[in-house]
Every structure is written in C-alpha cells, then in structure tokens.
Amino acid sequence: MSAAASNRIEVDVAGAQPYRITIAPGLLDDGAALAAQVRGRQALVLSDDTVAPLYAARVAEALRAARPELSLAHFALPAGESSKTLHWFGRAIDALAALGARRDACVLALGGGVVGDLAGFAAACWMRGIDCVQLPTTLLAMVDSSVGGKTAVDLPQGKNLVGAFHPPRAVLADTAVLRTLPPRELRAGLAEVMKYGAIVDASFLDWLDAHADALLAMDDDALATAVARSCAHKAAIVERDPFEHGERALLNFGHTFGHAIETEQGYGGLNHGEAVAVGMVLAARLSETLGLARPEDGERLRVLLTRFGLPVALPAGLDPESLLAHMRLDKKAQAGGLRFIVWEGAGRARVLSDVPESAVLAVLRG
C-alpha cells in the first residue's frame, strides 16, 4: 500500500494478471484515470437502475472528454441481489453484442457487488475474456467484491454457483460516493471490513473500535483508511492464492452461514453484509462449540458488530435443517463433508474440514 499524488492511496495486486487499486475522492470524474484503463475504442458502462441515474452520465462525460473517439454504450439492470441471475447475465451479453464489442473492448462495472459480479462474469465470457474495470460505489464492493477477480451469478439453489475467476484490469474506488450511501449499506460494508480484523489482523479490530464513531459519521479519512487497509489485506491473500486452493478461503469467514441465510430468505431479507455479520457470530460460536476459541472472543466480536448497527442473531423463522441443506451445496463444501472457516480468536482464522453436521445444527438451534 502506498500514498500517491495528492490524496490518493494505491494498492498493487501482484500475480499472473497484476492490477492496481486506486482509492481517492473524485475518481468517477477523472477522465484521464478512467480512459487510461480502456485499451480499445469500445466500452460498456454496466450499472443498475439506482446507481446509473446518479453516476453513469458523469462517467460517460469524463470518458468522452478524455477520449472523444470512444464508442460508449450503457446497460442497467434492476438493483438488488435478485438481478444477479443468468437472465440478466444474458441481457448484459446482448448489450456487448449490440455494441459489437471486440477483444480490446472494456466493461466498466459501476455499482455495488451485484453489478461488479455480473459485469465481471460477462467480461470473462465475452470472446473468452475482455477487460473489466471495477468502479465500486458501495463500501462493501470497495473492500471485497471488486478485488480478487471472483465473478458469478446466483441460482435458486445457492449464491455464486455459476462464475469464473477474472481479475479486473483496475479498481478505481471513489470514496466521495460513500457520502451518499444509505446507512444500511454503509453498515453492510463495515461487516466485511471487520472480517479482515477477524481473520488476519487483530489490531485492525482495535482500530475499528476506536474509530467507530468516525466511520459511522462517514468521515472521509477514516473511510479511506478502512478501505485501503482492507484492500491491502485482501490483495496480499489473493496474490498468494488466486484460485482459492488454500489461504484465500479464509476470506469466507462467516460466509457459509451467511450465504445459507441469504438463499433461504430468497435474497429478500438480510443483505449480504448483514448476513455475513450474523454468519461471523455463528462461525465464532461454532469455533467455541468445537473447543477452538474462547467465548469471550466471540462476545467481543458480537459487541463490536452491534456497535456498528449490524444484526448478530439468526433471523426468526429460519429452519436449521433447511439452512444446513444449503450449506451442503455451498462451494466451500467438499466431498468429505462440510468445510468452515473457524477461528482461534481475533486474527487467527483457519480452514476446518469434515465439520460434524451435529455441531452446525447445535449452533443454528442456538
């Protein structure tokens, strides 16, 4: 992680396809920064019907000012997880076809995690792979889904079951857009920020505790630091394990429980960050049940999540057996049985295979 010109922070992600994460206010209006990532003369701005009216015209205007010869097209899907489907993926592919996109075309993913995942998957599949530049507009997308190249859509049977690894050409995180983020979306992003403290950096949890008021007040400097520190942690993990064969699985702390909750609720209840918050509490409780962690470690996490206004208990009315069935289909399950990310306390997470279903049910039944 390095400081760049003016108030920009840059995080470089190494590997077979290296790229840079740039964090600064005003990036969506920076035509030079945007245009520098478009190799050819065609670009598709893919967004949703909430974000597009706010920012799509600004991005297009900035791009055209820097590159008048660009052929620009727009495509917006309905906002929300319910649009992260094969149907809307097909519509995005149709938009690329209508553009006549060539192999040096670029998809600009302008939005939150749903847009980033679907746009990245469309870019991965069009002509077997074209550039995708991630322009995340939510805190959750800035610290998680825009980084690392995991792209996917959902099926009725579960989240992210159809997808591809497709690293972005660049990530431009404009922190100015966070000032207008609804409080619920800000809190959802903070759940993913907290995850990095839980899995690899206990001191980050201390920092979050000390800066909770500033973060909830959307203080620019506090948010930029939280984004940069989270991205640096994710970048380091992704560099070492780009295809989730080992360490990268730690990033799924809380997600096995969380994805099951989202699927069981039909993607219409808790949002992703909220589900992950509950999932982290349940993962900590599972760790206690298995004798790996102390109850006070999980209690500290629960209290901090509560301080940020996040849910920490399983929503009422969800059937433990149904949740367990979703977990069996989760991508993190293996032939030998359920696999969970557990911890031994803050900053000390690990992968645990062959977790007894009885222990999981005990946690779900509370």
The residues assigned a catalytic role are: 128, 150, 192, 234, 244, 248, 252, 255, 259, 272
- Compute the chain's Rg from CA coordinates: 20
CA within 13 Å, CB half, 299: 3
The Cα 112–Cα 313 span in angstroms is 25
Handedness of CA 171, 175, 180, 182 (dihedral sign): positive
Q: How many residues in the chain?
A: 366
Minimal CA–CA distance to 355: which of 259, 307, 289?
289
Coil vs helix vs strand at 135: strand
The token pair that represents 81 in the structure block: 């997880």
The Cα 298–Cα 262 span in angstroms is 22
Euclidean distance between the first and final Cα of the chain, in Å? 41
Query: Which parts of the chain fold into alpha helices (H)?
Result: 31-35, 52-66, 86-99, 113-125, 139-140, 183-199, 202-210, 212-216, 220-240, 255-264, 272-289, 295-307, 320-329, 357-365
The Cα 263–Cα 266 span in angstroms is 5
The Cα 119–Cα 110 span in angstroms is 9
